[in-house]
Amino acid sequence: MIPIPGVLIALLSFPGVIVHETAHLLFCKLRRVAVFDVCFFRIPPANEWFSGTPIGYVMHEKPADFTSSFLISVGPFIINTLLCLFFCFPAFFPVRLHNVFEPSAYFFLWLGISIGMHAFPSMGDAMVLWSEAKSAAARGNVLAILSFPLIGVILLANIGSIVWLDLLYGFAIGLGVPELVLNSLSA
């Protein structure tokens, strides 16, 4: 199998990277967590293409409470998923129902799926959340205890991205959910 550099995938789905970092930033702002630096999208030098150098990042202080940590880490999952639905939903119907070739529909499907496939928090986000959740759970924080399964899912999703699980998620949200809605309405 020929490994596809992450930067190439990120280039093809760059709106998703930008939305992902924006979601982190929005939740930092919402929780008044200090941000030191933000990069919405960058192309690292060619020698770093396979090294896992992040394409975008938000550097922020350690949040004072677990709720903030949780929201900042999980923010992209919420925002990217919602935006994926928002853009794919109306574009789905002309293509799926009537096989109409409408460039705008395909543009929105690409946009939505690109955003959806970057919904999962990165491995770095998951590891930070994991360590924060452990200490918060030890203090009896209910959200921290409840978040363990989600952190597990995020970790699995990151591992699964090797076999395109992130892209599959984008398709599932962008095309699968409208299909389900259509089927339930047609029933």
Partner 1 sequence: MMTVKCHHCGVESPRRETLTIKDQITCDVCAEQVVEECSETLTQADVVRNIDPTVCSWCSFDGGQTELGTVAALPTCEPCEARMRNWPLPGWIKLAFVTLTILGVLSFLFNVRHVQGAFAARAGKRAFASGNLDLAVEKARLAANKVPEFKQYRLLADLFEGIRLLSQDEPAEALKKLQSIAQEAPNDPMVKDLMTSAEISLAFEQHNYDRFLELAQRQQAAHPQDRRGDFQVASALACKYAETGSAEFRDAAEKRLNDLGADRDPDETDYRQRIQHRLTTRRIISRQQFHDKFPRGWKPEE
Q: Is residue 179 a contact point for partner 1 (CB under 8 A)?
A: no
Q: Is residue 25 a contact point for partner 1 (CB under 8 A)?
A: yes
The C-alpha angle with vertex 34 and arms to 57 and 42, in degrees rounded to 5, equals 15
Stretch that binds partner 1, among 34-42, 119-127, 134-142, 151-159 (CB under 8 A): 34-42
Q: Is residue 143 a contact point for partner 1 (CB under 8 A)?
A: no
Binding residues for partner 1, rule CB under 8 A, total 32
Own/partner long-range contacts of 53-58 (Cβ < 8 Å, ≥24 apart): 54/122, 54/124, 55/6, 55/7, 55/10, 55/17, 56/17, 56/18, 56/20, 56/21, 57/21, 58/21, 58/24, 58/25, 58/28
Q: Is residue 185 a contact point for partner 1 (CB under 8 A)?
A: yes
> Of 157 and 173, which has the nearer Cβ to partner 1?
173
Smallest separation (angstroms) from partner 1 to the CB of 165: 26
Cβ 48 vs Cβ 112: under 8 Å: no
Smallest separation (angstroms) from partner 1 to the CB of 15: 8
DSSP 56-123: SEEEEPPPSSHHHHHHHHHHHHHHHHHHHHHHHHHHHHHHHHH----HHHHHHHHHHHHHHTT-SPPH
Smallest separation (angstroms) from partner 1 to the CB of 4: 26
Q: Is residue 184 a contact point for partner 1 (CB under 8 A)?
A: no
> Of 5 and 94, which has the nearer Cβ to partner 1?
94
Residues in contact with partner 1 by CB under 8 A are 18, 22, 25-26, 28-29, 32-36, 38, 40, 61-62, 86-87, 89-91, 93-94, 97-98, 100, 104-105, 108, 111, 182, 185-186
